[in-house]
Structure 1
Amino acid sequence: MATKYHARSISLPSKSHPSTVKVEEELRKMKTWESCSFSSSSVCGALLGLQDLYDSIDELLKMGSTHQISSCPQLKQLVDELLDGSVRLLDVCSLAKDMAFQTQQHVGALYSAVRRRKRDSAIKTTIAAYACYRKKMMKEAKKLMISMKKMNEKFNSTQMTNLDNHLSSVIGAMRQAYSINSSILESVLLYLTPLTKPKARGWSLVSKGVHNGAIACESKSGLNEFESVDLALSSAVEEKEVEKLHMAQRRLESLEMAAREIESGLDGVFRRSIKTRASLLNILSQ
């Protein structure tokens, strides 16, 4: 899987209206996240940037000149497409937020089992439940990413011709914002469902090849919190050393905190997406 998201480009008009400058500035900022490392901090930073982008878009939609959209049939059709896209993005955002919450619950159970040093059978049961959850989550994430890909293909298939420069800039900016939103949500899903996942059978949480080499060079491997937890748990459970158990606890704490921050970031994006959708509906109703 990719280690960072790539925003799908939807070109804006060559000469944008001055009122869209702030939105375009936020769009340019968002593209800097393409070069960030694939970690919880970069994912959370992208979610915060997306919130700022939506705030700028909402200000743009409140401008009187933007309300002319309701008088142009072609623009109304494009807005309808944006509304359809917003529903899909809201669904994905809500499901991703639920994934982040469930991750906290499962990681909390793992932390409790390791901290209390429960008998091997109890820890094994907890690990098996976590592995089952991860497998289910990966399947769900794949479906969601396919859904968002179809949405972006639809946006790219509709051309904007013979439109007022300002209004086409507004629609173009929103299209690009939705495309970036889609890419960031994909980034979140990829973070929450890394390829290195625990195996339900036995103590091994990672493949033998990864386990043999990664622990020695973990600091240089670029692993995210999920993968670091897999390695730490594998080492702690197999070798049963006190220090490694403590390391596993610390890694589990970090993962739980990362999932909580991502859930919070997704909640902020969800709320602002609702607000933007309401502004679009308000424009069409005039």
Structure 2
Amino acid sequence: MACHQRSASLPSIPHSTESRVEVELQGLETRISSPSATIGSICDGLRRLGNTYDCIEDIMSLPSNQVGLSLPLQRKMVEEELDRSLVLVDLCDAMQESLAELKTSIQELQLTLKRGNDAAIQLKIESFIRLTKKAQKPFKKITNSKAMDEGCRTIMLLAEAREMAVSLLESTSRLLPKQIVATNGSRWSLVSKRFQKRRVVCEEAQLQTLERGVVDLQNSVEPLFRRLIQSRVSLLNILSS
């Protein structure tokens, strides 16, 4: 879906864009519910959701919708969605902070591993584990807010996209701890007190792969955050018109 190229890709019939957004959101929901979700699939989902927000932005910018959303009957729904979107912005901001902390923690662990201090390595691993748990805390305070079954279709799409964004961010927080579980079911192989040369090379590779994954998540969450801000600006402009 390439709706972010607005001048070239926006269909002449608005209903077509709305239908494509709904299909895309349904596809993302299927992806999230998959038990085989990976950092790569989550990153792809975040990018696709960002493009979906661009499409919704196109729909909101249509003159007919600008007028319709500013009418008294619709304003209340716009105001409610604006309030709920603030929660999502805060979640996205918290995820960006958590990913930055995790990246720093991985880099510190890499340096500690090179020094070969077993006790220090153990402490860094425990610190990393605490950070992954911290990333999940904001989602425990979120109450389910289902999309409206009736009302303005544009606001319904925004509500569905918001729910999808929350689900994707929560999936990200749940996926991070899984990166530190060894195949034998114990905590990461780095916990081992034996640091033979071959094993250390393997562990360094693990850390490098994990760091790349966290960077990929950062690069996917940050553009989504910008789009969420833009969506709020558009809603505020509609209310002020």
Structure 1 pair 240–70 and aligned structure 2 pair: CA distance change class (3 A): closer
CA RMSD of aligned residues (A): 2.5
129, 132, 135: which one aligns with 1:134: 129
23, 26, 40: which one aligns with 2:24: 26
Q: Which amino acid aligns with 2:237?
A: N
Structure 1 pair 70–48 and aligned structure 2 pair: CA distance change class (3 A): closer
Alignment match, 2:222: 267
Distance across 2 between alignment mates of 1:20 and 1:73: 23
Distance across 2 between alignment mates of 1:275 and 1:261: 22
Alignment match, 2:6: none
140, 143, 150: which one aligns with 1:146: 140
- Please say which of residues 129-138 and 179-188 is displaced more in the overlay: 129-138
Whether the 8 Å contact between 1:69 and 1:284 is mirrored in structure 2 is: no
Q: Which amino acid aligns with 1:231?
A: W
Alignment match, 2:75: 76
TM norm structure 2: 0.83
In percent, how many aligned pairs have the same letter?
24
* Number of equivalent positions: 227
Deviations 1:237-274 (A, max 9, x none): 42221111100000000001100110111101101111
1:85-104 aligned at under 5 Å gives the runs: 85-104=84-103
How far residue 36 of structure 1 moved from its aligned partner, in angstroms, is 6.0
Structure 2 residue ranges without an equivalent (≥5) = 1-13
How far residue 140 of structure 1 moved from its aligned partner, in angstroms, is 5.0
Whether the 8 Å contact between 2:135 and 2:173 is mirrored in structure 1 is: no
Alignment match, 1:67: 66
Distance across 1 between alignment mates of 2:68 and 2:132: 40
Deviations 1:196-245 (A, max 9, x none): 86xxxxxxxx7xxxx6xx34xxxxx9xxxxx8xx53313xx422211111
Structure 1 residue ranges without an equivalent (≥5) = 1-15, 198-205, 216-220, 222-226
162, 168, 172: which one aligns with 1:178: 162
Whether the 8 Å contact between 1:79 and 1:171 is mirrored in structure 2 is: yes
Alignment match, 1:224: none
Q: Which amino acid aligns with 2:120?
A: T
Distance across 1 between alignment mates of 2:20 and 2:149: 24
Deviations 1:109-151 (A, max 9, x none): 111222x2x243xx42243144135325414523x11333x2x
Distance across 2 between alignment mates of 1:69 and 1:171: 11
TM norm structure 1: 0.71
Alignment match, 2:196: 241
Alignment match, 1:283: 238
Alignment match, 1:12: none
Structure 1 pair 268–176 and aligned structure 2 pair: CA distance change class (3 A): same
Distance across 1 between alignment mates of 2:84 and 2:30: 24
Q: Which amino acid aligns with 2:168?
A: I
